[in-house]
Structure 1
Amino acid sequence: MSSVNRWLAASLVVLAGVALQAPLAAQEDLTVLPAIPNDYAPKKTDWGEPDFRGRWPIDHLNGLPLQRTPEQGNRAFLTEQELAERQARIDQLAGRYAAEDSQDKIGQGHWVEMGVGSRRTSLLVTPANGRLPEMTEEGKRLSAQMRSSWRNGQDFDWVTDFDSWDRCITRGLPASMMPMMYNNGLRIFQSPGLVAIQMEMIHETRIIPTDGRAAIPVQIRNWLGESRGHWEDANTLVVETINFRPGASATNIVTSGSPPSNDSPISEQAKLIERFHMTGPDTITYESHYEDPTIFTAPWGARLEWQRNDEYEFFEYACHEGNVQLRNYITASRAERAGKTPEAQ
């Protein structure tokens, strides 16, 4: 699919998202999210499980921040004025990125998926204030040690000075299930006893057994943890993930609305429970519940409304081609500290 056709398809999805959210403006109580519908019975696979297969990009949610502002308190929805202000900010940023592109130059605007101004105040729905809970003292200590090329004012001397996403390893979990400014594709595959979720970012694939097999030993730890799933009711997939390998980020610094200064590290005690509710032939409500008592003083959870778009095409995720970007960062950082240009070093 050409970039123009992809943009048109994505625009139709965004417009559909606006239409779906329009009735919420008449809601008197802005603090309450509507209940998740549970009356839809999806078609079945040939082996008798609910059929969730398809492409479910979350690019339309990129305008929805992870956290609320403190001033929004426990409100689940924006006022009309706040929505207009949010959309204006998104349009301004989108215009800035688009201006980078020209006939002889392809800038960031070619890749950015800005989303639409959602009426929701935040992806987070728990705690009630829609904000990440306070970190423990250990969480604060580990968070202060995290590095990222996306954060200003950091020096780089070796590959370990970069986070797992800089190094093209992983964006972390549940961060990888959150919208970003590009590569927001999610694709679900199924086979008897297995569900696979492919992510456009870094092209990672989560393999989720649903056949009741036993958990692996806790000594075996993965970047995306180890998942086990089961079907609940006629339209819900429940996935529990443990055995996380520390080193990635639970929220990631580039997740819209995430903490501006520090990431949220992952410890070996992290646990993620996800519920995928199919609410219609082209809609899934995704809920996540995350707890890590080493890092956070309380659990937190998010809710995302997915929309099917089987026309969405995954871009190649080449990350830093030739594996030279980290070396360039290190060279430039050393030169800057030495008061020299990289060419003179």
Structure 2
Amino acid sequence: MQSRTRPVTVTVIALTCALAVPFTVGAQVERVADPSWSTPRTADGQPDLQGLWGNKTITPTERPDSAEGRAFLTDEEMAAANQRRVQSLQAQDAAPAQRTSAGGQLGAYGSYWLDSGDTVLSTGQTSLIVDPPDGRAPIKSWALEAKAYGLAHEGEDYRYLSTLDRCLSRGVPGSMLPAGYNNTHRIAQTPDHIVLQHEMIHDLRIIPLSDHAHIDARIGLWMGDARAHWEDDVLVVETRNFHNRGWLATSGAGRRLKGIPTSKAMHVVERYERVSESTIMWTVTVEDPNVYTRPWTISIPLTAEPDYVIYEYACHEGNYAIPNILAGARMEEATAAQATAEGPR
């Protein structure tokens, strides 16, 4: 058994078995008893989750090959990873200017507004995914093929472009996953509702604390239909009634998950637990038998950001990005066709 306890008052336990069976790792998050701290409560007695909470991190969504078979980094590895990140950012800032062609890479130009974090998760996880034990999403082959086709043909049709690029929605759980910027979330509570405002796109979820039945199964929504309830001091949010036009992850930070389609069968269960004055443990389990071979789970500590300011979100200046992307692709096709017609020079 490997145990890790950190100042955020979270303990993560990894169970390993290295006998005649394949190496496996299971992970769970447990609250650590702290006699000096008790869960704050609202006027009506609910655990108080209100405030601004951030989740930016350089921990990858899926476990990299370099950490195969390992659920956690050592303290030394965490420090080294954080230092490498700082050095990389410093090198980008110090790089000399260089010219590029239209459509070429701009390097670090404009990267000052990116805010993807410079540290791994305080828990030391090697991936955001904690189940399955290998730290990788169990994606069916057809979904990987559909994702690859869509990403390879983004310029052909607006429907192949990310729903984030189209300024529609990052969906659920995508709206809670770390991205390159806008990684802060506001939680508000009333006696009978939970409100989640996500900085990116300003996706807003107004969730009833109710056991009322979900809407008709024939109705599909970008953010699904959510219901919440309390299990002791843990807020549990269950969401269903999705449609099949969304993506599981829309940001490049999602790596292999970016572009994976959702289906009407997707069922998402989130758990929010205040474990210290400055930390909420957020876990989400995604079940979609059409897309995945089994359910899978992500766990991320959300960190209090009381001084952060969420400004108005403007997705595209003038909302002309998508027409320009498609027009640029048509121009590239015309240029290539002309070159073919003219033949070699």
Report the TM-score, using the length of structure 1 for normalisation. 0.79
Aligned partner of residue 31 in structure 2, secondary structure: coil
- Structure 2: distance between partners of 1:129 and 1:276: 24
Partner of 1:228: 227
Alpha-carbon distance, 1:94 to partner: 2.3
Matched letter for residue 324 of structure 2: N
Question: C-alpha displacement at 1:92, in angstroms?
Answer: 3.9
Q: Percentage identity across aligned positions?
A: 31
Which gives a bigger RCO, structure 1 or 2 (Cα 8 Å, sep 6+)?
Answer: 1
Give the aligned residue type for 1:226.
D
Deviation at 1:191, TM superposition (A): 1.1
Aligned residue for 1:250?
248
SS in 2 for 1:237: strand
- Measured on the aligned residues, the alpha-carbon RMSD in Å equals 3.2
1:122 and 2:127 correspond? yes
Change (3 A) 1:252 1:208: same
Contact 1:54/1:189 (<8 A) preserved: yes
Inter-partner Cα distance in structure 1 for 2:84 and 2:9? 19
Shift of the 306–248 alpha-carbon distance from structure 1 to 2, 3 Å rule, reads same
1:37 match = 31
Ranges in structure 1 where 5+ consecutive residues have no aligned partner: 1-17, 148-152, 341-345
State the partner residue of 2:150: 146
State the shift of 1:99 in Å. 5.0
TM-score by length of 2: 0.79
Q: Deviations over 1:2-29 (max 9, x none)?
A: xxxxxxxxxxxxxxxx9738999xx998
Say if 1:189 and 1:108 are closer, same or farther in 2 by CA, change over 3 A: same
What secondary structure does 1:277 align onto?
Answer: strand
Structure richer in strand, relative to its length: 2
Matched positions, count? 309
CA distance in 2, matches of 1:74, 1:229: 35
Is the alpha carbon distance of 1:82 and 1:337 closer, same or farther for their aligned partners in structure 2, counting shifts above 3 Å?
Answer: farther
- 1:259 partner SS: helix
**Secondary structure at the residue paired with 1:306?**
strand
> What's the CA shift string for 1:146-177, capped at 9, x where partnerless?
34xxxxx5452443342211100012221211
Aligned to 2:115: 112
Say which SS state the counterpart of residue 197 (structure 1) adopts.
strand
Higher gyration radius (CA): 2
In 2 relative to 1, CA 280–131 (structure 1 residues): closer, same or farther, beyond 3 Å? same
CA contact (8 A) 2:131 2:296 kept: yes
Superimposed CA distance per residue, residues 216-260 of structure 1 (whole angstroms, 9 cap, x where no aligned partner) = 111121111111110111x2101111001212211335124x218
1:284 equivalenced with 2:283 (yes/no)? no
Q: Are positions 1:335 and 2:338 aligned together?
A: no
Contact 2:55 2:178 in 1 (8 A): yes
Which one-letter code corresponds to 1:334 in the other structure? R
State the one-letter code of the partner of 1:142. Answer: A
Find the aligned partners of 1:248 and 1:155 in 2 and give their Cα distance: 15
CA contact (8 A) 2:53 2:303 kept: yes
Contact 1:274 1:289 in 2 (8 A): yes
Work out whether residues 239 and 267 of structure 2, in 8 Å CA contact, stay in contact via their aligned partners in 1.
Answer: yes
In the alignment, what sits opposite 2:104? none
